[in-house]
């Protein structure tokens, strides 16, 4: 178990002016995607030039992709720019999700039977995703199957984006559960939701709370050829809920077209008292392996623009 201090995504200031985001959102709503795309290119290029830290993090990740994936050349500066642009385009797709414009999208479902089976049995589950593709499209799966989904989130580093969404979608907080480290009442409420046959979605590739015991709740796992720190919190959380766990990744195939992957991870997270840490490490390693698989499938869609391996200068 890794007990050293590690780089925290919360320490990275949210990028972009609130006015710039608001202007882009209004142009998108009034004139559509065709008018917004050129604005995106300019905004992304500005921050691409300005922010050395995110450029370095993107290049580090893309270099690990190229070293892991056979016959893939090393990334150039325009690959790093494309990575940033992919994040901006996905952000517009997220805007569509939260403003209820999913009818314009096409979803190809892979492994949907894993959700259908649980719904038919009246059983709830934990759905673990990552900052890969567009996890917000989980709402599309809920609407498609009529299941109720609670999304556990931490918005400390996306306050501006959330502020913009609320302007256009006042009910965006419906189904959202704000992350509160150590909040026993939250676990109790979500356990009741699971018992009602509902679902809980959360992300598994960012370290959460800082300080105290939370600093030690990480496991080292091999990811894209090097050791990286993954949070234990998703697996501790799922163990408390005592329910099946599925992995979920929504990857952008083309404009308004997504591939939705759902696969079983564990029938139940079992943490034996005698070997709790080793069990958590094994779950983290299994998650890291599947995340790597999907990152190699869609390299430009993993959006952790910070020092994930802890080796950037």
What pLDDT is attached to residue 23? 75
pLDDT-based confidence at residue 9 (cuts at 50, 70, 90) = very low
Structure tokens belonging to residue 130: 């990552």
Torsion of CA 146, 152, 156, 162, to 10 degrees: 10
**Is residue 250 within 8 Å of 133, Cβ to Cβ?**
yes
| Nearest-angstrom CA–CA distance, 66 and 74 | 6
- Residue 36: pLDDT band (50, 70, 90) is confident
pLDDT, greater one: 214 or 174: 174
Span 153-167, average pLDDT: 63
* Residue 63 and residue 75 in contact, taking contact as beta carbons nearer than 8 Å: yes
Q: How confident is the model at residue 170 (pLDDT cuts 50, 70, 90)?
A: low
Write the pLDDT tens digit of every residue in 253-283.
999 999 999 999 999 999 998 999 999 999 9
Checking if the pLDDT of 125 tops 80, the result is yes
Give the sign of the dihedral formed by CA 102, CA 103, CA 104, CA 105.
Answer: positive
How far apart, in whole angstroms, are the C-alpha atoms of residue 313 and residue 295? 24
Between these two residues, 55 and 147, which has the higher pLDDT value? Answer: 55
């Amino acid at each position: 178990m890794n007990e050293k201090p590690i780089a925290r995504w919360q320490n990275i200031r949210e990028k972009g002016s609130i006015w710039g985001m608001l202007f882009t959102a209004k142009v998108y709503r009034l004139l559509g995607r065709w008018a917004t795309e050129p604005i995106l290119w300019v905004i992304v290029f500005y921050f691409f030039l300005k922010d050395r830290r995110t450029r370095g993090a993107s290049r580090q990740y893309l270099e690990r992709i190229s070293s892991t994936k056979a016959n893939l050349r090393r990334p150039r500066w325009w690959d790093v720019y494309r990575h940033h642009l992919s994040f901006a385009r996905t952000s517009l797709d997220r805007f569509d999700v939260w403003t209820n414009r999913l009818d314009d999208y096409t979803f190809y479902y892979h492994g949907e039977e894993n959700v259908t089976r649980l719904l038919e049995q009246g059983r709830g589950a934990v759905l673990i995703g990552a900052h890969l593709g567009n996890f917000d499209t989980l709402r599309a799966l809920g609407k498609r199957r009529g299941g109720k989904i609670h999304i556990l989130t931490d918005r400390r580093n996306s306050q501006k984006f959330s502020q913009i969404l609320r302007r256009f979608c006042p009910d965006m907080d419906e189904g959202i559960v704000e992350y509160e480290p150590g909040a026993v009442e939250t676990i109790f409420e979500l356990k009741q939701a699971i018992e009602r046959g509902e679902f809980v979605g959360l992300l598994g590739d960012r370290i959460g709370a800082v300080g105290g015991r939370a600093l030690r709740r990480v496991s080292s796992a091999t990811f894209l050829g090097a050791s990286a720190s993954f949070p234990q919190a998703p697996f501790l959380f799922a163990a408390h809920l005592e329910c099946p766990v599925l992995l979920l990744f929504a990857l952008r195939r083309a404009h308004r077209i997504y591939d939705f992957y759902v696969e079983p991870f564990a029938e139940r997270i079992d943490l034996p008292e005698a070997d709790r840490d080793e069990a958590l490490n094994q779950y983290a390693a299994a998650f890291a392996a599947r995340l790597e698989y999907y990152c190699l499938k869609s390299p430009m869609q993993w959006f952790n623009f910070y020092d994930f391996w802890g080796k950037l200068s």
